[in-house]
Amino acid sequence: MSRRRPFKGRLKGRRQFLLVGLLLLLLALAADVVFREGMQRLSTQLHDAWQRAQPRAATLEPGVAVVDIDEASLARLGQWPWPRDRLGQMVDAIGRHGAAVIAFDMAFNEPDRTSVLAQAPRLRQRGIVIDPGIPAEQLDNDLAFAAAIARYPVVMGVALSNQTGHALAAPVAGIAHAGSDPRQYLPDYRGGLGNLPVLSEAASGIGSFSFPPAADNVIRQMPLVANAGQALYPGLAVEALRVAQGVPGLQLRSSDASGEHAGGRPGLLQVRVGMLDIPSQADGSVRIHYSGMPHMPVIPAWQLLESTPSPLLGQLEGRVVLVGTSAIGLRDIVATPLAAAVPGVQVHAELVEQAFNGQYLQRPDWARGAEVVVAFVLGLLLLLVMLPGRALPASLALLVLLATVIGASWWGYSQRQWLLDPLPTVLSLLLLFTGMMPLLLFAGNREKRQVREAFGRYLSPTLVQRLAEDPDALRLGGESRDISVLFSDIRGFTGLSESLAPDALTALLNRFLTPMTEVLLAHEATIDKYIGDAIMAFWNAPLDIDQHPRKACLAALGMVEAVAALNAQRGSSLQIGIGIHSGLACVGNLGSLQRFSYSAIGDTVNLAARVEGLTKQYAVTVLVTDAVRAQVQDLALLELDRVQVVGRSEAVGLHALLGDAQMATSAAFIAYCQQHQQMIGLYQQGRFVQASQALESLVAQPWPGVGGFYTVLSQRLLELQQLPPGQWQGVHVASSK
């Protein structure tokens, strides 16, 4: 049977998934068109978040100021409405301090009922006669207000509305337009609430302070020009800028003036106010790029009427001064992308300041087309990554693509003031991923089941799983890798097994092997096999492991501690021996065609096994070779011997591993190590008598873990003293494994 047969048709299946994915991608793009209104709401919320994250850079000396009828002013001067002569006094105070223009973010459409003239009938009924020589301005507060308006450049506000058909005073600003009649695409209102004729006639300009309606009541844009009763009214901020510059009118440029198109349809492109050019959306509105105006002078209205002028009034000179209210009871509080509640007059101030510094949020004409293209291209790219049916790479690709498109939207906003919409792409990617990934995973699992059914009788379960993930891995042989190998077993296990019943022996092994396995896995070991009480593990295969000799040594120390804990807990007296060696070995799928497993073979593995066996002869718990010692200089190690193991002609150095880096750097261990090394040097030089004398002082107070070795070495030194001269080569020849 061919090992590739279960995977025939894989390419055909992937082509079918590609077609399904393309269909889903097209459906996502179609959904964006069908549900465009809802998608735009979400996009608006995202762009609001951009503004909160990075508002427009605030101007340190803004060209606009606000006179605020705040709660403190109402408390000092009385509840609203105030007598109009008091408003006239405010206008005079602002004008005297050099304001470029004064604009009222409010309308006065009814006569002042507090005027003496308005109260004249009631006064006459009470026999009070008004001196006919009193000037009319003193009797009529509206006349007094109008006189003050006439003395300074003042813009009066009007509220455009479809809820009333009241006629408004004719706009003061002249309108010149290039292209088609702007009334075709500008907002159209039936009428609105204006001002008393005497006030309108005295004003230098008339501007609309109406906010456009929004579904969530957040103010994101303002009309630059609007149509009411076939008359074109500038916005309040636009009219204030016109009057401040002393120009007679506005210049509107439409999309058909030079063959251009705003947003792909006829509309307004730009409003010129004197020397200022304000870009417009097709419907005549402008997007507000909010800064919060932290440096804008805000002067409470009551300070204008104090007998001693406030120093703050000096900040009005040369500025566009907007008169509005932050008092909650006067209901001119609005929501913006930056705050849930701000005075409405601040929105007009934001637009004035934007006109001065020329920073506008814009939606480029090419944005919509680019967004569709990006959504399709990135969707196709994600689909190609998903086709192999691997969840992790596909998930990472999804996250990267989502981060890329959202990051591009942020870059466009923060660096170019572009409002780019990432949601069509986000929707496409999410729909594609959630629709395709389950199908691909299901198909992949089906292929894995086919592998298990075809090869489960011949291969180990572990290898079957690997083969299911990567069928190309079905081959014998391996690769040469530098690994660290550890062998361990229980001392005296043969005698122990003879004294225990089978079930008790099994329970003992389970109690022993479980913590040993936990320690090894915690140190990134690959556990090769269990052979009764013995364990073989190695590092640096199949995955690369940094500092694998050190991790093998730390694992050995951890195993020793785990055995001590097990003995303390169970009241047992288990002892283990551990041998570690590092070097090249062949690792891979080793075995026969019927059954094989991932393992390691070679001289490195054989030597590690021999070293573990020598722990019994040398009476130490952990032995490592020179190859390991060279790479773990920071651990507590003592050199013991050079030995020629059974079946190997080349000698190997043995070292006892006693502790970690903290022990190795202790003063006591460093001093002891020097004394021990002097003794070992005498032994290796063949000076056995002197070595025995040096050993006596070490035997008196041995370092924990090497006392048994000193007993073995003491007996060996006595035997070596009987050798004829010249026979000792500094290498002990092991007689058994």
Residue 687: strand, helix, or coil: coil
pLDDT at 473 over 50: no
Averaged pLDDT for residues 421-442: 82
Question: What are the pLDDT digits (tens) for 581-626?
Answer: 999 999 887 766 556 666 889 999 999 999 999 999 999 999 999 9
pLDDT at 469 over 80: no
Count CB atoms within 10 A of the CB of residue 447: 17
Name the amino acid, one letter, at 91. Answer: V
Provide the token pair at 572.
């047992």
Taking the C-alpha atoms of residue 207 and residue 104, their distance in angstroms, rounded to an integer, is: 9
- Residue 160 is inside which H or E element, if any? strand 154-161
Provide the token pair at 688.
């056995």
pLDDT confidence tier of residue 5, bands split at 50, 70 and 90: very low
Burial of 630 from C-beta contacts in 10 A (0-12 / 13-18 / 19+): exposed
CA distances from 3 to 66, 475, 526, 596, 688 (A): 82, 10, 28, 16, 65
pLDDT value for 119: 64
pLDDT value for 6: 38
Residue 665: strand, helix, or coil: coil
Domains in the chain: ranges and CATH: 17-51+366-453 (no CATH), 64-173+184-246+284-357 (no CATH), 475-632 (3.30.70.1230)
Provide the token pair at 301.
């209205």
Burial of 27 from C-beta contacts in 10 A (0-12 / 13-18 / 19+): middle
Provide the token pair at 308.
């001693």
Q: What is the 8-class DSSP label of residue 294?
A: T
Taking the C-alpha atoms of residue 126 and residue 271, their distance in angstroms, rounded to an integer, is: 57
pLDDT value for 136: 58
Q: Which residue has the tokens 């092991």?
A: 734
Question: What are the pLDDT digits (tens) for 628-686?
Answer: 999 999 999 999 999 999 888 889 999 999 999 999 999 999 999 999 999 999 999 99
pLDDT at 374 over 80: yes
Count CB atoms within 10 A of the CB of residue 515: 17
Averaged confidence pLDDT in the chain: 85
Phi, psi of 541 (to 5 degrees): -160, 140
**Candidate ranges 7-16, 21-30, 693-702; pick with highest mean pLDDT:** 693-702
Question: What are the pLDDT digits (tens) for 99-143?
Answer: 999 999 999 999 988 876 666 566 666 666 565 666 656 678 899
8 A C-beta contact, residue 301 and residue 87:
no
**Rg of the Cα trace of the chain?**
45
Residue 273: strand, helix, or coil: strand
Q: Which residues on neighbouring strands pair with residue 488, listed in sequence order? A: 535, 578
Taking the C-alpha atoms of residue 709 and residue 642, their distance in angstroms, rounded to an integer, is: 14
Residue 703: strand, helix, or coil: coil
Question: What are the pLDDT digits (tens) for 387-403?
Answer: 877 778 888 998 999 99
pLDDT confidence tier of residue 265, bands split at 50, 70 and 90: low
The candidate with the shortest Cα–Cα distance to 114, out of 146, 91, 89, 80, is: 80
Residues in the chain: 737
pLDDT at 33 over 80: no
Q: Which residues on neighbouring strands pair with residue 271, listed in sequence order? A: 252, 278
CA distances from 71 to 76, 78, 122 (A): 9, 10, 32
Question: What are the pLDDT digits (tens) for 276-330?
Answer: 999 998 888 999 999 999 999 999 999 998 878 788 888 999 999 999 999 988 8
The alpha carbon of residue 434 and the mean position of all alpha carbons in its chain are separated, in whole angstroms, by: 22
8 A C-beta contact, residue 210 and residue 222:
no
Taking the C-alpha atoms of residue 270 and residue 286, their distance in angstroms, rounded to an integer, is: 10
Question: What are the pLDDT digits (tens) for 43-90?
Answer: 888 888 999 999 999 889 999 999 999 999 999 999 999 999 999 999
pLDDT value for 470: 60
**Which of 48-52, 113-117, 167-171, 201-205 is predicted with the least confidence, judged by mean pLDDT?**
113-117
Provide the token pair at 336.
């913006």
502-522 vs 548-570: helix axis angle to the nearest 10? 140
pLDDT confidence tier of residue 457, bands split at 50, 70 and 90: very low
Beta strand 64-69 with 320-325: parallel, antiparallel or unpaired? parallel
pLDDT at 8 over 80: no
pLDDT above 70 covers what percent of the chain?
A: 87
User: Pick the residue with more confidence: 380 or 590?
Assistant: 380
For residue 542, say if its preceding peptide bond is cis, omega within 30 degrees of 0.
yes
